[in-house]
Structure 1
């Protein structure tokens, strides 16, 4: 549960997630768009791949339709530059030919299998302008939802705020830890409305959409992570009903 374990354990969890976000941004340009991967969340099939000359961790992840973070975690890789020719990689849930779209594909409605764990949309009115996956050789670990600056941002589920501050690239950011080792990330805020250690309820306003950090316009950068590994947020969000004010753009995002 959220509050189980010692204070030291909770501090380590908070620190490791913030460090993971910073490392992701530095190495792969997180906070920048693509369509969802074709492999559904929850697929546990594993394949192997022998690294060939000239290949990078990002190209291999794209080829098999898995996230860079998951591929690195499955192989104990902390630095993508450590990849060696001839190295045999385990591809978690991977399948050659299952690819992730590019920015030119636009952002499509999610049609894959949805996770049994469902969050609520963090905004009530916006346009999904950038999807989860590889873009220009870099991993985008969440989705961007464009809306006017000042638009309310809501907690996708109940939990405890483990970070409320500024992260390089992400700007003003709130991170909430939920049960079952999940966390959600809310970046580019105009201002944060909650502080670290605060318990928040599902649907509680936690920030306002803004342009802080590295972004091309006012939007929310939203991530869903489990054990610090980024997952496709659209697999964890309900399909917007016709009455909802959530739509999908052809291209764009931060």
Structure 2
């Protein structure tokens, strides 16, 4: 346990105070000229963040860091789920023993900006990621009291195989009621159980790009990216955190 806390501290040091740059990256101020490699409908930080969710490195010359760092959040059951949140936000731990669910909701105090991250939840039987993402989207709509039909800006669904275990990744970029949201779910079916990871980031459309570079990417870099710029592998199973349905358990996948 002590070593896990040490790892979090070292990672935060590199990510929050590093001045290192990627020579082949683009300056942050030129990011609006970037167009997604995977969805031609979007550009700017929104596009960078969409591609990042699909395991493409963020093409920035500087590590995205919090401009207004606030409190330190560390999950009481899994300290690897730990990062500094911005001022004006609150973090709410998610722990559900029956489904082995561990995660966090980070919510701006006006309730309009949300970062939801669940690196692991489990369900008996084989459940499609498309079903899981539908539940997450409905929960997000309830948070914003939205009852209409969203605009689906980008969508992906892919199937793969990790060590003989079927894996599905599905994502949506939505606009609804003045809100833009990126949602993804990765699920892996192993020995009669579906292990899944969930991410939701949402903010008013007018400030979504700003929240990507000032909130969402800095938190993601603290969670997923090491001081060398590569995706971390917390459990040492050979699968990087951005692709692992449970990067805290080396037996998954």
TM range (shorter): 0.3 to 0.5
Between 1 and 2, higher relative CO (CA 8 Å, sep ≥ 6) is seen in: 1
Give the structure-2-normalised TM-score: 0.35
Give the structure-1-normalised TM-score: 0.34
Answer 1 or 2: which has greater helix percent.
2
